Amino acid sequence: MATLRLGDIAPNFKAETTVGTVDFYDFLGDQWGVFFSHPADFTPVCTTELGATAKLKDEFERRNVKAIAISVDPIEQHHSWIKDINETQHTTVNFPIIADPDRKIAELYDLIHPNASETFTVRSVFVIGPDKKIKLTITYPASTGRNFNEILRVIDSLQLTANHQVATPANWEHGQDVVIAPAVKDEEIPDKFPKGHVVVKSYLRLTPQPNL
């Protein structure tokens, strides 16, 4: 399987999960998705990550996002691990964890990187849009926990830029000014961006976030 790239259709699959058998596309419906992989159950960094994801339930729901995780360990082990996650992270896991002991989904999404490990999945994140296209991929080393604030920030940017002709500048956060897309002509700006704009350079035009 070739590496999945931005704009590719996320492959569909059926899998056994901690909430029963799931068809990936049916699970996502018309919502956004965050699909993230874990090297193995009962690992320290993953335990903190799944706890962090559970605590972000309201933030994901506010953005119309569904979370789903995957590990190559079997379903019985997942259920035991969830008990540890809930206990140590002071939360309740509220999203499915896929069991992938035959590594079919891991191979489908290119989650086995032999130079890192020939048996365990890497720590990858896919953000998938309602059109089932991959909007973001990030792969972390096993030693580094994911920054879920960054994942939320990118989702905010993706949802904003999908509906408005803007881009978000470096270190942008929700509520800050955005960049007007180069395709927008100067004479079109007043109608498209009635909140006003600032011309820093002819190619760098800023406007308040339009969906606030």
pLDDT tens-digit readout, 18-33: 999 999 999 999 999 9
The yes-or-no verdict on residue 39 having pLDDT over 90 is no
Q: Where in the chain is the domain with CATH 3.40.30.10?
A: 14-146
Task: Determine the length of the chain.
Answer: 212
pLDDT tens-digit readout, 185-198: 999 999 999 999 99
User: What distance in Å separates the CA atoms of residue 32 and residue 105, rounded to the nearest whole number?
Assistant: 19
The yes-or-no verdict on residue 101 having pLDDT over 70 is yes
pLDDT, residue 3, reads: 80
Q: What angle do CA 38, 131, 137 make, to 5 degrees?
A: 35
Sheet holding 204-207, edge to edge: 166-167, 178-180, 204-207, 198-201
* CB burial of residue 35 (10 Å; 0-12, 13-18, 19+): buried
Q: Tokens 């996650």 correspond to what residue?
A: 85
- Active-site pick, 4, 46, 128, 166: 46
For the question of residue 46 being annotated catalytic, the response is yes
**Three-class SS of the chain:** CCCCCCCCECCCCEEEEECEEEEHHHHHCCCEEEEEEECCCCCHHHHHHHHHHHHCHHHHHHCCEEEEEEECCCHHHHHHHHHHHHHHHCCCCCCCEEECCCCHHHHHCCCECCCCCCCCECEEEEEECCCCEEEEEEEECCCCCCCHHHHHHHHHHHHHHHHCCEECCCCCCCCCCEEECCCCCHHHHHHHCCCCCEEEECCEEEECCCCC
pLDDT, residue 123, reads: 83
**Mean pLDDT score across all residues of the chain:** 93
pLDDT tens-digit readout, 107-130: 899 887 554 454 566 789 999 999
pTM: 0.92
Q: Tokens 């904003």 correspond to what residue?
A: 160
Confirm or reject CATH 3.40.228.10 for domain 14-146, answering yes or no: no
pLDDT tier for residue 154 given thresholds of 50, 70 and 90: very high
Q: Where in the chain is the domain with CATH 3.30.1020.10?
A: 164-207
Q: Work out the average pLDDT over 60-83.
A: 96
As a whole-number percent, the residues of the chain with pLDDT over 90 amount to 85
User: What distance in Å separates the CA atoms of residue 60 and residue 89, rounded to the nearest whole number?
Assistant: 18
User: What distance in Å separates the CA atoms of residue 168 and residue 178, rounded to the nearest whole number?
Assistant: 5
Non-local CB neighbours of 162 within 8 Å, separated by 6+ positions:
129
CB 108 within 8 A of CB 126: no
Q: Identify the CATH homologous superfamily for domain 164-207.
A: Antioxidant, Horf6; Chain A, domain2 (3.30.1020.10)
User: What distance in Å separates the CA atoms of residue 78 and residue 150, rounded to the nearest whole number?
Assistant: 26
Which residue has better confidence, 7 or 118?
A: 7
